[in-house]
């Protein structure tokens, strides 16, 4: 009991250190709290602080995070596991519960402040580009699946995850890890590579990309009918690591109410999980997460919930808890295997293939360079990066299109990723 309590306190409070580091030093602020959480978690996992269990125990897990107490006792009696494996199994069980609960409660919080109805209204001008980005992602991820489906196991799961992150973002990527039951080490490898590719793409987008795309795509035409609400844009694009002011007296009570609402939504999702028949086991997690996503979107349309400040940041704090926990379950010494080259090629295809196809479609449908680039930013990254790229474009008018695309992506990511994954599982 003391071990469980200590681990839970550690995972739910240690991310405060990463937030403090990002506020105090600009170097860590540029890296971001999520990168710090993954990095520190990997150090914990690789250093061997947490027991991994015997070879027999790990073999019997068959890719699962934890096994039942009854099965472990049986393995110990048969000599296939050892009493020391009990501690490893308990810790793995705690870690599994912490990252699952933190993510399920986080997702409604992330959605509460994203007013889909409002941004759909603003998306009119760039709506075609948004649709083309969705099509490009689906086509290239599906093509990548068929090219590499025999290169590594469960390629359909990876396809679903990358469709989710291309359409939405890191929270969708994490949610699809649960839905598709992807093991912790593979998830961390995928997310690490995603961060590396993302860093290079951000640099490209804010430097030479505007000049390159403007050379062969139509020029942006100003629409005087679009009025940019600076305060609205500021609120919607607050940095993922901007946790300042969350403990203010006027904010803490509404935030606690939002947290309670998110817990209730997660509880409804859990009820759906158990209502799905046992013979449909593989769809139980999908039913739960998609229920939570849907209820989070519906709640965001209710103004008293939508106007609560810092709900997105509270959700991102729980994503930090998730990131630290799942990374601490991984070991760098075993993560990078001989099949890594094919995995990297698949991921590269998904990212750059989708971007190239989006460019081709933009050319065919005569999408202007600025709307193309801001839409690509919203889908490949997330709304907080939109003003950064808009600044590089020196075009404030495209900000609302970019934010609209990002918000639409957040709401659709889980649905698109889940649907594509289970569709490709048939092949």
- In this predicted structure, what is the pLDDT of residue 416? 93
- Rounded CA-CA distance 233/122 in Å is 12
Residue 13 lies in a domain: no
Least confident residue range of 44-48, 183-187, 261-265, 357-361: 183-187
What are the pLDDT digits (tens) for 106-131? 989 988 887 777 666 666 667 888 88
Residue 1 lies in a domain: no
- In this predicted structure, what is the pLDDT of residue 55? 76
Domains identified in the chain, total number: 1
User: What tokens appear for 407 in the block?
Assistant: 């918000």
Cβ neighbours around 266 below 10 Å, total: 24
Residue 372 lies in a domain: yes
- Rounded CA-CA distance 93/142 in Å is 34
Give yes or no for residue 422 having a pLDDT over 90. Answer: yes
Residue 123 lies in a domain: yes
Those residues whose C-beta lies under 8 Å from the C-beta of residue 198, and which sit 6 or more positions away, are 380, 381
Residue 409 lies in a domain: yes
Give yes or no for residue 229 having a pLDDT over 60. Answer: no
- In this predicted structure, what is the pLDDT of residue 264? 96
Residue 30 lies in a domain: yes
- Rounded CA-CA distance 133/45 in Å is 37
Task: Pick 161 or 388 by higher pLDDT.
Answer: 161
Residue 109 lies in a domain: yes
Q: Determine the structural domain holding residue 119 and report its residue range.
A: 24-48+98-228+324-424
Residue 294 lies in a domain: no
- Going by pLDDT thresholds of 50, 70 and 90, the confidence category of residue 336 is low
């Amino acid at each position: 009991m003391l071990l469980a309590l200590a681990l839970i306190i550690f995972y739910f409070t240690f991310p405060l250190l990463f937030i403090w580091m990002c506020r105090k030093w600009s170097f860590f602020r540029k890296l971001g709290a999520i990168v710090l959480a993954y990095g520190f978690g990997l150090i914990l996992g690789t250093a061997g602080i947490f027991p991994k269990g015997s070879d027999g125990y790990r073999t019997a897990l068959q890719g699962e995070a934890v096994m039942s107490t009854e099965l472990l006792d049986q393995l110990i009696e048969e000599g296939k596991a050892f009493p020391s494996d009990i501690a490893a199994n308990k810790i793995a069980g705690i870690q599994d519960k912490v990252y699952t609960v933190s993510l399920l409660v986080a997702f409604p919080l992330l959605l509460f402040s994203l007013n889909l109805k409002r941004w759909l209204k603003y998306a009119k001008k760039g709506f075609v580009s948004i649709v083309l980005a969705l099509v490009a992602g689906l086509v290239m991820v599906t093509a990548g699946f068929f090219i590499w489906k025999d290169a590594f196991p469960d390629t359909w799961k990876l396809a679903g995850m990358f469709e989710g992150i291309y359409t939405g973002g890191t929270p969708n990527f994490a949610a699809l890890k649960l839905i598709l039951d992807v093991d912790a080490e593979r998830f961390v490898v995928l997310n690490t590579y995603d961060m590396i590719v993302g860093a290079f793409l951000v640099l490209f987008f804010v430097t030479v990309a505007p000049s390159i795309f403007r050379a062969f795509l139509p020029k942006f035409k100003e629409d005087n009918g679009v009025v940019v609400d600076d305060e609205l844009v500021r609120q919607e694009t607050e940095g993922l690591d901007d946790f300042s002011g969350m403990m203010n007296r006027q904010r803490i009570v509404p935030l606690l109410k939002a947290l309670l609402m998110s817990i209730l939504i997660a509880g409804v999702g859990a009820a759906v999980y158990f209502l799905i028949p046992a013979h449909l086991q593989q769809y139980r997690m999908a039913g739960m997460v998609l229920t939570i996503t849907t209820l989070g979107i519906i709640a965001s349309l209710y103004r008293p919930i939508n106007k609560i400040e810092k709900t997105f940041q509270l959700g991102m704090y729980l994503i930090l808890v998730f990131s630290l926990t799942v990374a601490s379950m991984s070991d760098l010494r075993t993560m990078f295997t001989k099949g890594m080259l094919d995995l990297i090629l698949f991921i590269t295809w998904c990212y750059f293939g989708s971007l190239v196809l989006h460019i081709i479609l933009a050319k065919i449908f005569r999408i202007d360079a600025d709307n193309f680039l801001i839409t690509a930013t919203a889908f490949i990254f997330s709304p907080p990066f939109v003003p950064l790229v808009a600044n590089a474009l020196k075009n404030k008018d495209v900000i609302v299109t970019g934010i609209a695309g990002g918000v639409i992506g957040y709401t659709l990511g889980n649905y698109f990723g889940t649907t594509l994954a289970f569709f490709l599982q048939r092949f």
